[in-house]
Chains A and B, each alone.
Chain A
Amino acid sequence: MAVTDPERQAPSLVTGEKHHGRTMHLTLRVWRQAGPDSEGRFADYDVPGISEDMSFLEMLDVVNERLASDGEEPITFDHDCREGICGTCSLMINGRAHGPERGTATCQLHMRKFGDGDTIVVEPWRAEGFPIIRDLMVDRSTLDRIVEAGGFITVSPGSAPDANLVPVPKVVADASMDAAACIQCGACVAACPNSAANLFTAAKVAHLNLLPQGEPQRYQRVESMVDTMEQFFGSCTNHGECEEACPKEISIDFIATMNKDYLRAKIKNRRYLSRNP
């Protein structure tokens, strides 16, 4: 744990000095729950000696090392890339999904965003669509159900097509990329007072529906993805809380676009045609 010990850090190449970051003394109030059906409760931990340069997850690593060496069960939490691109980290930190910093996933959140002496409350995402596995870890595979319902394009996988064979206007490509930035973390659901997954679904719908490659399945896609979403999650009442929580700052404009496409899809009602020959 080099980061915990300023003495063991490499000196700056410019000044030759070691960077002595501020260290913090925190109280951590963490949700502990042994399994999906167990009773959970908050447990308080006294956490001295945290460098402000640590990420939130590194801070949890330190806490876990200490718990393990004390013979206690470490805190279970989700993480993978730790660089804000995989969407595995989660955590409700002080009542906000991914914590206080806008456009930042938990793994990219630094301890310097908190003050020395703070009490930090950490809870898992809560939604029926995200059952708790253990402690802070939840099962977000319901989001995969939504993607499976239409988050793909059907093409014949021959040899790779020539680049730029299908022209896409720059603005369209940009808008599609904005939607495609979604890392499927579920913060939108966690932050939503209704546990709605509309921002996630709208992003997944839009990044394909905007492009010519997605056009042929545009209406089937939006219909089956929304219908699948509604089996697991709540409904959007336009609070806009998702947009604030989203680490990729995906805009709720996409939700309006999805609503428009969904209405058109229902008018076309291709599902109805296919089942009633």
Chain B
Amino acid sequence: MGENIKINIQHLTRVEGHGNIVVDLKDGAIIKCNLEIVEAPRFFEGMLRGRSIFEAQHLTSRICGICACGHTLASIQAAEDALGLTPSDQTIKLRKLLLHMELLDSHILHIYLLALPDLLGVRSFMPLIATHNDVVRRALRLKKACNDVCNILVGRHVHPIRATIGGFTKLPSENDLDTMLNNLSNLHEDLDETVELISKLQFPQFQRDSQYVALVSDDGEYPLLSGDVGSTRGVRINKSEYKKITNEYMVPHSSAKFTNLNGEPYAVGALARLNMNCRKLHSKAVEAAKKLNLSNGGNNPFLNTAAQTVECVHCLNDAIGILEALKTSGIDYKEEILVGANETSAIAVKAGRGVGAVEVPRGVLFHAYEIDEEGRILNADIIVPTSQNIANIEGDMRAIIPGIKHKSEEEITLALEMLVRAYDPCISCSAHFLDVRFVD
């Protein structure tokens, strides 16, 4: 198109929630380069005020169907932190298993149904049913398996029933452990083929020296459910001080709050986690990373989809390890808890403040609650990965435009859409509190 470009993509498809891309280039200068969040408002933080802390998991799970288990885990972690409750080893293992299923499930959805059509040059997975039937079937099979495991573990994947403050209302039987193990062991081949498929695709070439943020820890485990928050620029802080990382601010063109760290935008998600922690991946995932040229991570945002593929291999293998360990140790059913709204006072309540920081599919998610002595929520703050990514996505858009501005409008549009989709933005999540005006 050249030096004057006007692009206005309304209601971007194949992302969760509603967003627009608006680019305005005049005489070669970028006047506007925005990713607008136009999701309708849902006001979760506002709605939580006055409700029992024991209802927070149930409600915040409903922020997002895709990362329902992630919101659940972050919410429970924040609540337990506020109540001063330490979960048991068994509970932690089962929560890690749940988180692995969430990452696997969500990554598969993104890789196959949302990102792959672009890479194969079609508009959606619908035409692939005819042209790549085995690939579509594999994706649906993988998704179904994750879903089946979640059904056993927490009652259902979309809005888990059993996961609650203190642990689980019902624990898996021995038979359940075998079924889950069997379901997961059957997925190795499908995941090998996924790695193979992704390794053959051509991703757009583009690099930018972005700052990456993820959970970090000193032990040997790939940190997803615990740890401090760190960045590739050497920052490391305790999760209780998450606000120092996120530094939320608002911009007129968008409803999502933007974030920056030390005056610079940052990226979260699979690629960020690989950049911070790739040496801690499961050995099978290390092999996959090698195959996908991600042994040391990288700074091509388009490769986030490939980084998700590496994490799929990690999550599957680690999940199998957890299940095997649980089979050996056996489940202690005395840990089952009856909570409801804690009418039986099974869990001691006190006033306090707590923070949850969990690596969900799209990056680190923070929940923070302040509660009174009766466990009523006084204040709630939730910072989702997509809000943290938007400023960085806009930074990438600005950097990519000079290199593609001579192309046709169609090609520029596709490149920008692919870039945004690579981050796997979850706009339902980021609009949990704000609405935007449409910029015409």
Chains A and B come from one and the same complex: no
Chain A contacts to B: CB under 8 angstroms: none
Chain B contacts to A: CB under 8 angstroms: none
